[in-house]
Structure 1
């Protein structure tokens, strides 16, 4: 079976934690907008990758400007985001019209490697789903009813993206009515009874949400080059 490859890159953030007028996905990282690096990683992973960029309408002109920086331009379609992540991803999925491996990725994770993207692709072909995770390094405590207790951190994983699925699993899941308990795509697909397959993510696949993250990302990029 030949599967298409579709990356739905969700960039709905307004940059409030960044205290920045520019949305965080358009802040500069090593001379290019954060989102440029994210798109470039998917374009580099597979020559036949189709990219669906899900953005608030107010950011369309930003995005079109950013795409001018590519030569050649990857196959990118821009789609309007929804009121929640669930609705944004659902809007992006409207463009998946044939059997595909669908990657859903945070626009503000610009350091995802082509290696991880390919590993997610292969795992999704084998298992139907592929969710990258990393270990917790910090000690954690659970707070309940005024008390707190130490928790065994080995029982927990930190979830990353791209969360990757065969289209026949993710498309029906996103026909479900919205539920606030849907925190990511994996929780939506699980609701239909599909187990999710975890695979090792990457420590460097960080999410840019505050100014310090940009500094860390700059350092990681320098190291990479």
Structure 2
């Protein structure tokens, strides 16, 4: 029997480091908002049982229009929380699937094979993320001085999507909230439970739009993938 999986796309951020007015997920790129390309990439990679987008209520109408333009008929909109982890937790309340894929709304360049591989692996392991090895030398600092150089072979730059069994990620987030912990990605909520998280390779182009300078890369990359 086919295992059910929902996609959760947190889209409630305000982009403090993005130096252009407005939310970066709605920044227009070649005439379409960034989140349009992100959703298109996910829909082109896998047939999800649900698509749940966590966002501010004032953005619901625009998101409805985007989903309709992509012919996404199984979407739900969930109100964002104070932090990203709260937004994900709120979205999980609408999730009817056994598994969830969580993907940043501003990672539109994810390769469909990465999405597929992450999903297939989570059906076996319950917690799977994707990432790439750093190509630069990474050093640990103490103040303004170098403490030592880290072994690149043991380091991972984490990306999304990150996939989990719904039961496991719910347990992890509840633990985080109950113990007032701070987590910077979804897998951290599972790691604090002591659960092993598997890793599959991501594509190097799967960057998270953080600064305006990232837009130059996106324009070039996406213009070659989305041709009207």
TM-score by length of 2: 0.90
**Count of residues paired in the alignment:** 223
Post-superposition offset of 1:51? 0.6
SS at match of 2:194: coil
- CA distance, structure 2, for counterparts of residue 104 and residue 122 of structure 1: 14
Aligned 1:92-107 pairs, distance under 5 A: 92-98=91-97, 100-107=98-105
- CA distance, structure 1, for counterparts of residue 182 and residue 126 of structure 2: 22
Unaligned runs of 5+ in 2: none
Aligned 1:58-77 pairs, distance under 5 A: 58-70=58-70, 72-77=71-76
- Of the structure 1 ranges 74-83 and 179-188, higher mean CA displacement relative to structure 2 is found in 179-188
* Number of the residue aligned with 1:205: 206
- CA distance, structure 1, for counterparts of residue 139 and residue 3 of structure 2: 43
Aligned 1:24-173 pairs, distance under 5 A: 24-70=24-70, 72-98=71-97, 100-145=98-143, 147-148=145-146, 149-173=148-172
* Number of the residue aligned with 1:17: 17
Query: Which portions of structure 1, spanning 4 or more consecutive aligned residues, are displaced by more than 6 angstroms?
Result: none
The 8 Å contact of residues 7 and 100 in structure 2, kept in 1 or not, is answered as: yes
* Number of the residue aligned with 1:219: 220
TM-score by length of 1: 0.91
The 8 Å contact of residues 130 and 164 in structure 1, kept in 2 or not, is answered as: yes
- CA distance, structure 2, for counterparts of residue 24 and residue 75 of structure 1: 24
- CA distance, structure 2, for counterparts of residue 49 and residue 32 of structure 1: 25
Tell me how large the CA RMSD over aligned residues is.
1.8
- Of the structure 1 ranges 44-53 and 195-204, higher mean CA displacement relative to structure 2 is found in 44-53
Instruction: Check 1:145–1:27 CA distance in 2 against 1; reply closer, same or farther (3 A cut).
Output: closer
The 8 Å contact of residues 26 and 35 in structure 2, kept in 1 or not, is answered as: yes
* Number of the residue aligned with 2:175: 176
SS at match of 1:54: strand
